[in-house]
Chain A
Amino acid sequence: MNIQIKILVLLGVCAILMAPQSYGQDGSALPTPKEEDKDAGVRFNGLGRTILRNTEIDGPVLEADPETIRRQVDGEFLLDLQINAQPNDKTEVQSILRLRNEFGGFFGAGMSVEVRELWARGIIGNAIKYHVGDMDIAMTPYTFYNFEEEGFVNNPAALEAQREVIYYEQFYGNGNTRRVQGTKLDFGLNFTHVLRDADFSAFIARVRGTDFFTIPSRYTSGGHMKFRTRNISDSLGMRADFGFNFVHTFDDLRSGEANTGIRNSIATFNWDFRLYQDRNTTVSLLGETGRSSLTETHDTLRTALFSIDDYFMDAGFKVAFREQKITVQGSYVDIGPDFFSIAAQSRRIDLQNERSFYDRLGPDQQRRRMSIFDLNRDNLMYTFELSDRLMPYDPRFSNTMPYGLATPNRRGARFGAEYGGSEDLVEARLDAAFMSEILGQGTEELKNFTLLRAAANLNAHQLLDFENKLRFTFGYQFENTQRGGVPVEQIDLMSNMVELGVEIELFKGFEVLVGGKYLQAEGNEYVPQIDRFNVVRNFPEGYEADDREQLLAVGLKYNFNPRAYLTMQYHNFQSRRGENNPIDYNLDQIFVIYNMLF
């Protein structure tokens, strides 16, 4: 067992011995004692899904490209059968068996049967929770975090159906979890003085298998200790919650013939200090700071072949006005160029993955640039796996923080404001980031980034006293990147993305969905080729953008009940680069999705 895990377990055991009370943590899927008898046994749940898609392409790019077929029809019939068993009141096991058939597959061709999920969990001694098998892990944004993909602010409902499929397929759960396979221990303590409670968690997971030759198995381990305090000042409502987080990713050099491997450690301290709270107002200081180290070691030489370390700091405030339903927050961030956190910087979108449709186009079969259409449609572009280097990104969609909050080599300020809730007439959110590089790439000049994101939902049925839902949604992102210097160093890239959606519930459960999405990007940038250890290897060529992408959607959706729906939609997409560009193209798509949870 890894030394860090040993330490965490040891700390946990010590804490149990010292604790005046202990208990199993809330949030467990295990039932409370009262529910135990009722829920004991075997349950069958699952998901059934049918997708049928017809996608057609046309445009100037096809004029000299007779090879590309003009129409693709694809789809699948899928059943995920979830079997959940509780052999006793302390143990729960679950598996999901997947039966899948490609659209057009007959007599076994294109059919597959696989185990999609398998785990067991339970409680030891009424104090320690364990989980073995597939599990979803999320810690802080700088340690272990599956940050959101780019290209979305407030996606119209008309475009959400396919995205929901992607999220399900990639195990993107709530709370930015990442699916891994391993084991996890949790336990908590209650205290009577100063501290209210403490939460301890430790896990270890294998995130990559060995090929028995050059690639060793890779493991990620980690854990946290979270502490909540009682009110330090009852009059002020002062409280100080804090935690320690640790993640260690390492290669097991005893697996296979590989003799070099990495060690990536991240240790952080996060806090949420409530300075003041009354019936309406809460003022908090919150943030996280820590450092990372990355070394490549040789198995027999016992020496570090490569080593970097760096730190980050994210310190800010948050003010919430409960009655006005307004929350304002801001923070200063400084994330070093060599800050390396595999599990927090791995992107959901892997641009190197081959897309499932029209990946290459034109007479010379060049790869198509990623588009807003692909982001909404193509599951193959997404991943939940960890990358050992910063993955390529498209600066039109995200240049300020392409690797989430833990994007290295950034310094600046972030602000955010929220208003309302999902059931209010207006729900809105505004985010801004003003960042710059810490270390120049290819020059001593630094890039400056400006990012603005706004989202709003208008529940117009409340305004019009309409019985059924009438909802307008809006999303907007503005991003600008600039760098000075001599002409060849200068960068000026601007992008705008607008999302508009309308959801009209004509009668109970039956909705008309209309949505549109528009992306415009113009300017130049240099996107580096990143080598191992996040070393900038080269700038293959200047990135030029003069792009306009437009995605329109209209469809019908019938909700049989909250767990089953049928939708049929038409999407039209246009990609334009400059004026009369021979690589422009259009996509038309008609699809039907039937989705049922049971």
Chain B
Amino acid sequence: MDQKKYFTASYLALFLVATIFLTTSSCDRDLEDPAGPSLIDRFADFESVDTLTASQNTVDFAAGGTVFFRAAFNKSVDWILRIEGMQSGAVKVIEGFDLRLDESNATWNGTATTPPLFRDEECMVTLSIPEEPSYGDTLMITSLSQRPLPTNFLVTDFESDPGANIILGNFEFKLVLAETGRRSDFPAVVGDFYYILTGNPNPDFNPFFLGLVDIKSSIAGNPYMQLPQASPSQIYFNWFMWHDASPHAMASVQIAVDSNDSGDFEDGQDAIFSSENNLMLMHTGWRHYSFTMADLGMTSDDVEKIVAIRIVLLSDHDNQPTPPLQVRFAVDYLTFTIGQPLSF
């Protein structure tokens, strides 16, 4: 082999080696999980590997405590963890699709999926798997305290006597006063008290309107609600509403603005903002509602002069039987939040 050809062969060999090296070594495969769904998840029979346990038997949510739950299966499944307060009836539901429950996917900080809020009470924890109807696991834990809700812009939780800050409007004497007012007959969302309105519709005289309650902003300490500068679309008004699923009850929640700058709420003179549609109440128990100030058509100037919250009890007269049925609802924990609805 002459020298020229020898060098040529060497270059070619070097080129070949370099090409193979560059092609293969410069692109290491980043192999992650196996391709496709797990065969075990897809085809294996379900088995419970570890039973349901809790990280602790008691938890103090008011002190920021949390509790997490553990369980393990042989395959990933859709599981549902349901926590129910034995006194309050509050319910928290945690759902997931996994092989196991642990701190990453089954931690509870005292919040509720369905109001009211949990309080100091026994809680029953139930783990179920819809695809495996025969499977179920249960345990009890104790909630030592209620998880605190934000109180920065709280209007009222009815826990203290409102005095003259609440005006009951029973103009047509259709409210059942014995069943109207601040009460604690069933669990409130927060604390013990709520405010209930009960009315008997009169088909002969304004059959829709039954009565109302005006809650002045002064109940929170100032003539106007002290809200931060924010767009009306970012200011939420939240309330919890209880209903017993009896038909034909409707509600209207309205915001009163001190349009005559008197510094006090004056019915008939101040502007009232309300949503276009009344709430048709069909649910049972407590439910959370919210709207923004922008939803009511309020401006930033209006927001600065919120002087009262008005809650009206209405009857769905068009669908009422004869004689009409009594209607009622209760409200609790009226508060403003900024940026998002109340998280509970």
Closest to A491 in B: B39
Instruction: Decide if A488 is an interface residue (CB 8 Å cutoff).
Output: yes
Cα–Cα distance between A405 and B36 once the two chains are bound (Å): 23
Is A538 among interface residues, defined by CB-CB distance under 8 A?
yes
In the bound complex, residues from chain A placing their C-beta under 8 Å from that of B34 are 439-444
Question: Do A289 and B24 have beta carbons less than 8 Å apart?
Answer: yes
By the criterion CB–CB under 8 Å, are A315 and B20 in contact? yes
Which of chain B's residues have a CB closer than 8 A to the CB of A438? 29, 31
Which of A72-80, A230-238, A318-326, A452-460 lies on the face that meets chain B? A230-238
* 24 residue pairs bridging A and B, Cβ less than 8 Å apart: A232-B12, A235-B1, A240-B9, A240-B16, A269-B23, A273-B16, A290-B23, A311-B24, A313-B20, A337-B31, A337-B35, A440-B35, A442-B37, A443-B38, A444-B34, A488-B40, A488-B44, A528-B36, A536-B35, A536-B36, A537-B36, A538-B36, A539-B37, A542-B43
Q: Taking the nearest CB of chain B, how far is it from the CB of A493, in angstroms? A: 15
| A-contact 0/1 string along B1-27, CB 8 Å cutoff | 100011011001100100110011001
Chain B residue numbers with a CB within 8 Å of A506 are none
With A442-B35, A528-B35 already in contact, 7 other A-B pairs whose C-beta atoms are closer than 8 Å = A232-B12, A235-B1, A273-B16, A291-B23, A409-B35, A441-B36, A539-B43
Chain A residues with CB under 8 A of B40: 443, 486, 488-489
Contacts of B29 in A (CB 8 A): 310, 336-338, 438
B39 contacts which of A235, A273, A526 (Cβ < 8 Å)? A526
Q: How far is A409 from B35 in the complex, measured between Cα atoms in Å?
A: 10
Query: A271 in the interface, Cβ–Cβ < 8 Å?
Result: yes
Most buried by A among B6, B9, B34, B35: B35
> Is A50 located at the chain interface by the 8 A CB criterion?
no
Say if the beta carbon of A309 comes within 8 Å of chain B: yes
A119 at the A/B interface (Cβ < 8 Å)? Answer: no
Residues of B within 8 A of A (CB): 1, 5-6, 8-9, 12-13, 16, 19-20, 23-24, 27, 29, 31, 34-40, 42-44
Interface residue ranges of A79-107 to B (CB < 8 Å) = none
Query: What is the CA–CA distance of A273 and B12 in the complex, to the nearest angstrom?
Result: 9
Taking the nearest CB of chain A, how far is it from the CB of B291, in angstroms? 36
A242 interfacial contact with B, CB 8 Å: yes
Contact B20 A289 (CB under 8 A): yes
> Residues of A contacting B38 with CB < 8 Å?
442-443
Please give the distance in Å from A224's CB to the nearest CB on chain B: 15
Whether A229 is near chain B, meaning CB under 8 Å from some CB there, is yes
| Docked-complex contact A229 and B12, CB < 8 angstroms | yes
A194: interface (CB < 8 Å):
yes
> Is A232 touching B5 in the complex (CB atoms < 8 A)?
yes
Q: Which 9 A-B pairs have the closest CB atoms?
A: A536-B36, A442-B39, A440-B34, A536-B35, A233-B1, A488-B44, A232-B9, A240-B12, A289-B23
Cβ–Cβ < 8 Å partners of B24 in chain A:
289, 311, 313, 334
A441→B44 contact, CB < 8 A? no
A interface, CB within 8 angstroms of B: 194, 229, 232-236, 238, 240, 242, 269, 271, 273, 289-291, 309-311, 313, 315, 334, 336-338, 409, 438-444, 486, 488-489, 526, 528, 535-539, 542
How far, in angstroms, from A309 to B23 measured CA to CA in the complex?
A: 12
Contact B39 A489 (CB under 8 A): yes
Instruction: Kindly list chain B residues whose C-beta atoms are within 8 Å of the C-beta of A443.
Output: 34, 38-40
CA distance A590 to B130 in the complex (A): 56
B84 to chain A, nearest CB (A): 36
Chain B residues, Cβ within 8 Å of A539: 36-37, 39, 42-43
Q: Indicate if the CB atoms of B36 and A442 lie closer than 8 Å.
A: yes
Q: Which residues of A contact B12 (CB under 8 A)?
A: 229, 232, 240, 242, 273
Q: Which residues of B contact A441 (CB under 8 A)?
A: 34-36
Q: B124 CB to closest chain A CB, in angstroms? A: 34
Partner of B23, one of A313, A337, A444, A537: A313
Contact of A271 among B5, B16, B23, B27 (CB under 8 A): B16
Establish whether residues A289 and B19, one from each chain, have CB atoms under 8 Å apart when the complex forms: yes
Instruction: Using CB atoms, name the residue of chain B closest to A490.
Output: B39
Set of chain A residues within 8 Å of B19, measured between Cβ atoms:
269, 289
Complex CA distance for A194 and B43, rounded to whole angstroms: 61
A242 — which chain B residues lie within 8 A by C-beta?
12, 16
Q: Per a CB cutoff under 8 Å, which of A291, A489, A535 touches B27?
A: A291
Closest A residue to B16 by CB, please name it. Answer: A271
Taking CB atoms, residues of chain A closer than 8 Å to B43 are: 488, 539, 542
B23 near A311 (CB under 8 angstroms)? Answer: yes
**What residues of chain B lie closer than 8 Å to A238, measured between beta carbons?**
1, 9
Assess the B35–A486 pair: CB atoms within 8 A.
no
CB distance from B326 to the nearest CB of A (A): 55
A489 to B31 CA separation, bound complex (whole angstroms): 19
Query: With a CB–CB cut-off of 8 A, which chain B residues contact A273?
Result: 12-13, 16
- Asked if A310 and B42 make an inter-chain contact with CB atoms under 8 angstroms apart, the answer reads no
Instruction: Tell me which residues across on chain B come within 8 A of A442, comparing CB atoms.
Output: 34-39, 42
- Report yes or no: A232 in contact with B8, Cβ–Cβ below 8 A: yes
Nearest CB of chain A from residue B26's CB, rounded to whole Å: 8
Specify which chain B residues have a CB less than 8 angstroms from the CB of A526 in the assembled complex: 39
In the complex, the answer to whether B16 meets A439 with C-beta atoms within 8 Å is no
Inter-chain contact A538/B37, CB cutoff 8 Å: yes
- A235–B8 alpha-carbon span in the complex (Å): 16
**Whole-angstrom distance from the CB of B19 to the nearest CB of chain A?**
5
Q: Which residues of B have CB within 8 Å of A536? A: 35-37
Q: How far is the CB of A486 from chain B (nearest CB, A)?
A: 7
Q: Which residues of B contact A537 (CB under 8 A)?
A: 36
**Roughly how many angstroms separate A537 CA and B39 CA in the complex, as a whole number?**
12
| B74, closest chain A residue (CB) | A486
CB-based nearest B residue for A240: B12
